[in-house]
């Protein structure tokens, strides 16, 4: 079975406002679980993502403005270790945005490092979502004044 993590949150803002913050990698250190992020949300580009004790360089595979950002990372070939991360933005009928943060892991290393991977009880994904929500809603509040 592939380890899968999914975290969902509703954000009181449009998908465009959420997208603008999500893809502003330079500001990640201010609000997210990443201490630093660099790159552009463009298919084929490589990102540099830094977290405490870890740096990885995933490749953007989908970048549909205001809808979906997806990247994948691997160690060696996909059969050794592969992670596919997606962010889905869905407009709710009330004008808010449903933000889905999802990752799937596969490969032989997953069984070895499985205890180190996030779990629903130790979920940095929910923390990332909460930080994104606060940042987006804070920007929206400041613009409305």
Spatial distance between the Cα atoms of 138 and 22, rounded to a whole number of angstroms: 14
- Whether residue 145 is predicted with pLDDT greater than 50 in this model: the reply is no
Sheet of 36-38, strands arranged across: 36-38, 48-51, 54-56
pLDDT (tens digit, 9 = 90+) per residue, 29-72? 999 988 889 999 999 999 998 887 778 899 999 999 999 999 99
Q: What is the pTM of this model?
A: 0.84
Q: Whats the size of the chain, residue-wise?
A: 145
Beta strands 4-11 and 68-75 are unpaired
**CATH homologous superfamily for the domain 4-20+61-144:** START domain (3.30.530.20)
- pLDDT band for 82, please (50, 70, 90 cuts): confident
């Amino acid at each position: 079975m592939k380890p899968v993590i999914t975290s969902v949150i509703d954000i009181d803002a449009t998908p465009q406002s959420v997208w603008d913050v999500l893809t502003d990698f330079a500001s990640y250190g201010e609000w997210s679980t990443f201490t630093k992020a660099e790159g552009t949300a463009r298919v084929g580009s490589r990102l540099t993502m830094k977290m405490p004790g870890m740096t990885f360089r995933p490749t953007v595979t989908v970048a549909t403005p205001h809808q979906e950002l997806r990247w994948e990372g691997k160690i060696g070939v996909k059969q050794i270790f592969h992670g596919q991360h997606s962010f889905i933005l869905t407009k709710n009928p009330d004008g808010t945005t449903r933000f889905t943060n999802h990752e799937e892991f596969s490969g032989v290393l997953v069984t070895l490092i499985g205890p180190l991977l996030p779990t629903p009880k130790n979920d940095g994904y929910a923390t990332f979502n909460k930080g994104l929500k606060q940042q987006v809603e804070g920007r929206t509040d400041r613009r409305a004044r």
